[in-house]
Amino acid sequence: MSENYFFSKNIRDLSPEERLKVIGEVFESNSELLSSLRGDGALPLTVADGMIENVIGRFELPLGVATNFQVNGKDYLIPMAVEEPSVVAAASYMAKLARFNGGFEAHSDRPIMRAQIQVMDVQDLKSAKERILKHKNELIHAANEKDKTLVSLGGGCEDIEVHLFEDTPSGPMLIVHLLVNVLDAMGANTVNTMAEYIAPQVEKISQGHVRLRILSNLADKRLVTASVKIASRQFDTADYKGEEVVKGILEAASFAVVDPYRAATHNKGIMNGIDPVVIATGNDWRAIEAGAHAFAAISGHYSPLTQWSSSDECVLVGKITLPMAVGLVGGATKTHPAAKAAIALLGVKSSAELGQVIAAVGLAQNLAALRALATEGIQRGHMTLHARNIALQAGASSNEIDLVVQRMIESQNVTIDSASKILKGIK
């Protein structure tokens, strides 16, 4: 994909069909992939019926594409399934600014997931812990017997931890953690199966009773970090000096550091960027949300997932770190045609690469929100896009939407009543 593409094409000004055509030209995509991205029968009812229970239909979200992203020197178009206005545009604009400074840099931990085995009714916790650790290699070997294919590919259970909770509402607990390299999978099924398989051995060794055998979504050994640098002059506008914008961004970020009420909204804005990519690629967005918010509170104080600072050279520096348990194999990533097409559009080759791109999108989305808050406020750009939804609700046709939106914005009255009156005047 040529770099000139990102600067010579503004797909925001094209129709949906024209955008899809441009994407097809860039990626030399086949018609089946483009059809899946368009949503033409992307999820057959028969496939949906096999994915979950009691299926009665399908629920659709708009699928957009964020442009301008460059991560570790590679260009990406980002599929985003989201209903909220301004998300795709905001991420794309911040990615465009980032490109002038080399885009985003990102790196990942190894794909290590945890399974937890809860053991109750243990008479001597410390002695039981010692016995389990003494038999650690035996337990690791047993776990790996359950997934020889994963082991043959270089993954598998690598270590075992034992955690003791002497005082809980239900009494003392011994918790065994299996640490498993799941390679390019999200890993839930793998670690759950291993935990259930070795549970009888754990029970025998500990002389207790096993209860829960389940993964943890706090994937703190599977972190991804993305960073970006943007010169303050790139934030210059007719109304604001770049240095002033950067100062406002840093003040907004500091607010999130000290106040969990602000941090919750700050992190929600990050997930505005992350969740749509996770959904589009068929990954488990609930798991990513749970892991992100748990990680934000891991210190005992709920904190922002991003850190912002400025260098002596008047450069804004941002970084995000969070768990990223996404996969390219298994689940909806392999069964949902649109998810497979979205992954093909991204062109990622590993779960680590996918996680790095997703983290970069979250960082871009956070920067877009902080910039808006530090300047004209969050509502100005958001309401412009929200006005399109209002126009649609009022019954505007595709040929009428832009005019209705323009007049509502000019009158600063973005309501159904206003849209309806404008439509009457047009007709």
**268 classed as catalytic:** yes
**284 classed as catalytic:** yes
Vertex 60 angle, CA 54 and 62, to 5°: 160
Cβ burial of 333 (10 Å; 0-12, 13-18, 19+) is buried
- Give the number of other CB atoms < 10 A from CB of residue 13: 8
Asked if 276 contacts 81 with a C-beta cutoff of 8 angstroms, the reply is yes
Asked if 273 contacts 104 with a C-beta cutoff of 8 angstroms, the reply is no
Total residue count of the chain as it appears in this document: 427
Token pair, residue 210, equals: 């096993």
**13 classed as catalytic:** no
Distance separating alpha carbons of residues 5 and 76, to the nearest angstrom: 11
Q: What is the DSSP letter of 185?
A: B
Catalytic residue among 21, 96, 247, 268: 268
Distance separating alpha carbons of residues 373 and 367, to the nearest angstrom: 10
| Segment holding 66, helix H or strand E | strand 63-71
Can you list the alpha helix ranges (DSSP code H) found in 326-400? 332-335, 337-346, 351-374, 378-393
Token pair, residue 423, equals: 């439509």
Catalytic residue among 177, 266, 340, 382: 382
Token pair, residue 7, equals: 């600067």
Catalytic residue among 105, 147, 284, 353: 284
Distance separating alpha carbons of residues 48 and 54, to the nearest angstrom: 10
Distances (CA, A) of 395 to 60, 181, 351, 384, 413: 20, 53, 43, 17, 17
**83 classed as catalytic:** no
Residue 117's DSSP bridge partners are 176, 213
Asked if 218 contacts 112 with a C-beta cutoff of 8 angstroms, the reply is no
Token pair, residue 312, equals: 């002596």
Catalytic residue among 9, 84, 243, 289: 84
Asked if 270 contacts 305 with a C-beta cutoff of 8 angstroms, the reply is yes
Distances (CA, A) of 81 to 64, 223, 280, 335, 341: 6, 23, 5, 17, 13
Residues designated as active site? 84, 268, 284, 382
